[in-house]
Structure 1
């Protein structure tokens, strides 16, 4: 039996039906990812399941005594409260029962035998049964255990914590209840990569059923056992994770397109028939006319797939070949090195992702690269003819009182995109803002809509360097995918900070990663490539550590001899031959990978021979490993020869 069921639910705001005779059920142990367009009604559905709101119509059934806990996008906390007290507030009902039990116990002690005494005793027995069921006697231990599990200090003040740690407090407050159903609205917001990985492992290990909203595709792939899409008022269920959903959704949309084409063709034929001359009218079938009327009604009510955002960026003139050159750059704050002796060259057309924990200094490094911040040590040479368009993570660039049109094109009804004039209403329409909303104030927009507006504003300005600081927050999945396509095709330079792993994999050509204590290092490839190379480098470093330790312990005995020996090390004949062969080996691997990459990108191989497509994909990943090993060996042999 389902834990929770909605049948024929209807919910509307104004003329928009968010739920249109929608059905939904949640089974024990399921982890359901809820996806859909911004504004489709996902959060509204979550509040209905949480019993914080009711549908306009429809039947809602839930198992008796079902425990449900809802964690909103931005939890509300008392900033002065301790973490322990905040988490314990999740057990407010349990603690209220304990307080009542104590009060009844005191009353019972002072009440002589009789009807009142018996009533108090009955109430006390009822309370004891409820407290036993809820395991309320050990509530302090439950709070302490939950804090330890999630890695929180109970004495810390909530207001002093970062956004990521506050998100952990909100999850702890929910988990301490040990609910049957856990409801999460955008749980990855404010979390860095380590925090997201921690949350994935935590949720996969939970016994609670889970219904969550997120636009993080990698998170959906890792956590979800079923995807439910809210699409044009209907709830469509797809077993499996996000990747499996994408395959089934594509098939479903193709079937829907074919069916709609058949329907439209038949409707057109019937419209021709109804307009024929007098002779045809004499032989009209009453039933056929009734069917035509019904078909017209169905066509009118059909809710077509919502259009995609049309993204186009106003390209500026080409920048210089070198966008920025950093040499031994160091930046400190209060004695702490945020960037420590970092060197890099950013070339025109590079698409670089910046990754690291919250507070590592990603935004600081960006500002150093753009010349907006002076280094304490080292030099930064900024290239020529840079036209920078900056996407602000905190949306500080948006004036909440201005209209959408004034935000995009102040004082004018026109914007210029790549030399072509476009009316601001039409331009806003490309970003799915209806004409009647163009004069609405920015403050009326949701979080996802504000991000869309920021993108519209960003792309309306000529630029050859795009700086995107967390652009993916609150964007729905179709918009994310279109933004990926735009950035991939963009001729200029892209500097990107994001915690969306799939987005980084699909956009960037290299990653600059924080390695702690102000150290930064650049890796070729996307997020997954960085993880692979970083793990491989760590393995090699750990393997070399014992070897490096032995000579070090012997050095004091004859340090001069050791230095001379190091100077006279020469390559053996075998090593010399190996070093000579390595460049050709590396070149051959790079050529093979490039050829495979072209076939994979073309995609036709998967249609012709799925097995060969899978083999090529696997081989592409293997070449990454082989290249890394070959490059490290070449570097090792070169250093011995010097």
Structure 2
């Protein structure tokens, strides 16, 4: 369906692709992977024709429809969310627009002399609309929006009043409703809660078109894709299997290449030693010449390219008392909406609670009550002895000084630390090389979040309260964070939609449901085994 043939592409001074090829065939579900800046978005844009390769070509089979979802959703306002989704549904929305125009023309007295032609055309367009299941379009649009966690009120409200994250969901729903022959999805899992992620997995599994997608959520990728295309040093390398298979295969390939490189280096060293030793002796001239010629003909094996994965040893957290947080008889409501009534909850040292619950269940409210960001209407929240609290939430970025550079802000925060460990810390969270000289005011939301997280873990508290800490983190940075937190000696209370993060780090689950609040000993993996669901009310 789509062929990428011998393409080369340079952005500014950076070579993204060098004479490389790949293909997307009918029905294939492919994960596109590679480090930040490798050219994933550029490849999408070349497939849609928004950019052209410098050399080679990208060809799309005639008549193939492409739906492209990216992070730049554009301006949305003046329509309801459901209308916005229907308007982008491809051919059927164009037919619907013509149907509306013809209906208006039929009731226009000034066009009576054209009425026969209008009615004839209306019959043709109506038949085409029925063929495309146009009358079921609104129902399908609402079904997709419900899957992405929209309430009926949000579906019918002005899309312009929604936050950026919800507008992203509207843009994604447009592509899903369109059901094109090929879907290009650039980070569709960003901004989705766990319930929406599980629904989207089910949708994409049953989608019979071809799919090429990027995602920072390895679990999501593992469940959908059956092939990986990796961008590595300008090449497109294909692996048949899911993301876990790709990781194992890449590691195995690197080991084999390293072994071949070392064997060849040993052989070359031996040959060079012989040549150096005997080159001055006439008796060995023929042998020396023969070996020199042999060396000239050998194809040199390159060592595997080492991926820059920065590890960082975070300082141990100071010890707290055994009782870390206690909530007794807590009530909390927003207007008429009751969130908690008589809540009793205790967190003890070294417990790692993940908070589960649908949108609006009170997950973030609980974290705010624990951190003192919001007060209970009734009851008490007590923080235990020697507890040093660290709270990561989306508003945490407000602490940044816009005029400081990344490195400068870290130096202001930790004046005694010295540059070397602060540069290493910044590198762990994706600020390498010149990135540390960026001013905080020009950082994206994701970069700001990473910087605040880095500072929190440099001087770790013994109670970490984290609200969606993995948003905006790529797979490698998440892996580093999970590794760092798995050896963390303190207590954790967190909300996350990343199932790999939940499984790796939780040892307790607090589930918030309309039927009440349930506590589970054991982490997220045990919760899934015991309940048969991956989120409250949602089976995987």
Quickly name the TM-score band, shorter chain normalised.
0.7 to 0.9
Partner of 1:526: 523
Aligned with 1:513 (options 502, 511, 514): 511
For 1:194 and 1:448, the matched residues in 2 are separated by 22
SS in 1 for 2:170: helix
CA offset digits 1:191-222 (Å, max 9, x no partner)? 22221111111111222211111121221222
1:508 Cα deviation after fit:
0.9
Distance 2:189 2:526 in 1: 22
Kept in 2, the 8 Å contact 1:348–1:492? The answer is yes
Query: Which structure carries more relative contact order (alpha carbon 8 Å, separation 6+)?
Result: 2
For residue 192 of structure 2, what is the aligned residue in structure 1? 191
- Residue 48 of structure 1, CA deviation: 2.1
- Contact kept, 8 Å, 2:69 with 2:175, in 1: the verdict is yes
2:538 is matched with none
CA contact (8 A) 2:34 2:40 kept: yes
CA deviations on 1:121-170 (whole Å, 9 max, x unpaired) are xxx99x999x7998587575253132143136563321344666544422
Q: CA deviation at 1:307?
A: 1.7
Q: Does 2:87 align with 1:89?
A: yes
Distance 1:109 1:267, change over 3 A: farther
Asked if structure 2 preserves the Cα contact closer than 8 Å seen for 1:5 and 1:62, the reply is yes
| Equivalent position to 1:53, from 51, 54, 71 | 51
Equivalent residue for 1:35, pick from 28, 33, 36: 33
Quote the residue 1:542 is aligned against.
none
**Per-residue displacement from partner, 1:276-302 (whole Å, max 9, x unpaired)?**
68627975566457468x85xx75xx6
Match of 1:457 in 2: 455
Q: Larger C-alpha radius of gyration, 1 or 2?
A: 1
Q: 1:402 aligns with which of 398, 401, 404?
A: 404
Structure 1 residues 446 and 374: CA distance shift in structure 2, 3 A: closer
Shift of 1:500: 0.4
TM-score between the two structures when normalised by the length of structure 1: 0.70
What is the CA–CA distance in structure 1 between the aligned matches of 2:413 and 2:334, rounded to whole Å? 41
DSSP 3-state at the match of 1:532: helix
Q: Secondary structure in 2 aligned to 1:410?
A: helix
**Equivalences for 1:189-588 in 2 at 5 Å?**
189-266=190-267, 279=280, 283=288, 287=293, 290=296, 295=300, 304-393=305-394, 395-410=397-412, 415=417, 422-442=420-440, 445=443, 449-516=447-514, 519-535=516-532
Residue range with higher mean Cα deviation, 167-176 or 400-409: 167-176
Q: What SS class does the counterpart of residue 415 from structure 1 fall into?
A: coil
Deviations for 1:212-258, whole angstroms, at most 9, x for unmatched residues?
11121221222222222223333222223233333333322322332
CA distance in 2, matches of 1:504, 1:199: 19
Q: Distance in 1 between matches of 2:413 and 2:138?
A: 58
Counterpart CA distance in 2 for 1:33 and 1:52 is 21
- Cα offset, 1:266, TM superposition: 4.7
Question: How many matched pairs?
Answer: 510
Deviation at 1:272, TM superposition (A): 5.6
Q: Matched residues in 1 for 2:296 and 2:443: separation?
A: 43
- Cα distance, 1:92 vs structure 2: 6.5
Change (3 A) 1:412 1:526: closer
CA contact 1:415–1:460 (8 Å) conserved in 2: no
Query: TM-score, normalized by length of structure 2?
Result: 0.82
Unpaired runs of at least 5, structure 1: 112-119, 539-642
Alpha-carbon shift at residue 175 of structure 1 (Å): 3.1
| Distance change in 2, residues 1:147/1:382 (3 Å) | same
Matched residue SS, 1:203? helix
Moved more, 383-392 or 178-187: 383-392
State how 1:588-599 maps to structure 2 within 5 Å.
none
Q: 1:256 to 1:524 in 2, by over 3 A?
A: farther
CA distance in 2, matches of 1:455, 1:30: 37
Given that residues 404 and 453 in structure 1 are in contact (C-alpha distance below 8 angstroms), is that contact kept between their aligned partners in structure 2?
Answer: yes
SS in 2 for 1:402: coil
Match of 2:141 among 124, 139, 147: 147
Following superposition, the deviation at residue 181 of structure 1 comes to 0.4
Query: Contact 1:330–1:378 (CA<8 Å) still a contact in 2?
Result: yes
Q: Is the 8 A contact 2:367 2:467 kept in 1?
A: no
Distance in 2 (CA, whole Å) between partners of 1:349 and 1:331 is 27
CA RMSD of aligned residues (A): 3.8
| 1:7 corresponds to | 5
Per the alignment, do residues 514 and 231 of structure 1 end up closer, same or farther by CA in structure 2, a change over 3 Å counting? farther
Alignment of 1:87-126 (within 5 A): 87-91=85-89
CA contact 2:85–2:170 (8 Å) conserved in 1: yes
